[in-house]
């Protein structure tokens, strides 16, 4: 079963990447949800930590240096970034298409997060938790600003 979960996660990331690449010619719509997807793709690609770090809000970057972010593998910002995988849920503060409106300056979206049990390979995950990603608009762009356990744990899978 864990092989199928890994395949599903990989497929989701590939489809998201294809969507983002296909939209790149005309510009990716700058929605809060697209920002979280882009952040996750850049973070997961290891060598793209500098790009992921630039997508964090100013408040986070003031409190966590890039060096600390890089050395901790993202844990200096949030333990979510040490998880095996994360998938966005449909639970969000504002419907994603509405975050195109520049008057919307804050948003959040929930995601299902999996961590591997200690001593196992990452693909053998068993449990999930729901975490909330808070975003703020800075200079017209959405930035990832805070991660916290979601108050709505009923979204667990």
Phi and psi dihedrals of 10, rounded to 5?
-60, -45
Task: Give mean pLDDT in consecutive 10-residue pieces for the chain, a chain of 157 residues.
Answer: 39 42 51 84 74 93 96 90 78 84 92 70 62 93 92 60
Residue 129 tokens read as: 């938790």
Residues 6+ apart with CB under 8 A from 37: 16, 20, 88
- Tokens 């979510």 sit at which residue? 80
Q: Name the H helices within the chain.
A: 2-23, 32-44, 49-54, 58-63, 66-71
Angle subtended at Cα 30 by Cα 13 and Cα 148, rounded to the nearest 5 degrees: 65
CATH number, span 2-155: 3.10.450.100
- The pLDDT assigned to 64 comes to 97
Q: Which pTM value belongs to this model?
A: 0.72
Laid out side by side, the sheet with 85-92 consists of 85-92, 106-115, 127-138, 141-149
């Amino acid at each position: 079963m864990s092989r199928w979960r890994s395949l599903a996660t990989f497929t989701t990331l590939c489809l998201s990447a294809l969507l983002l690449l296909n939209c790149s010619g005309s510009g990716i719509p700058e929605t809060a949800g697209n920002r979280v997807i882009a952040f996750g793709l850049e973070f997961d690609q290891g060598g793209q930590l500098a790009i992921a770090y630039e997508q964090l809000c100013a408040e986070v970057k003031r409190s966590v240096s890039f060096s600390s972010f890089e050395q901790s593998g993202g844990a200096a910002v949030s333990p979510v970034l040490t998880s095996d995988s994360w998938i966005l849920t449909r639970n969000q503060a504002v419907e994603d298409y509405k975050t195109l409106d520049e008057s919307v300056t804050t948003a959040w979206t929930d995601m299902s997060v999996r961590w591997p049990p200690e001593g196992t390979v990452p693909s053998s995950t068993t449990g999930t938790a729901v975490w909330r990603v808070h975003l703020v608009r800075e200079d017209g762009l959405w930035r990832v600003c805070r991660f916290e356990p979601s108050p709505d744990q009923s979204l667990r899978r």
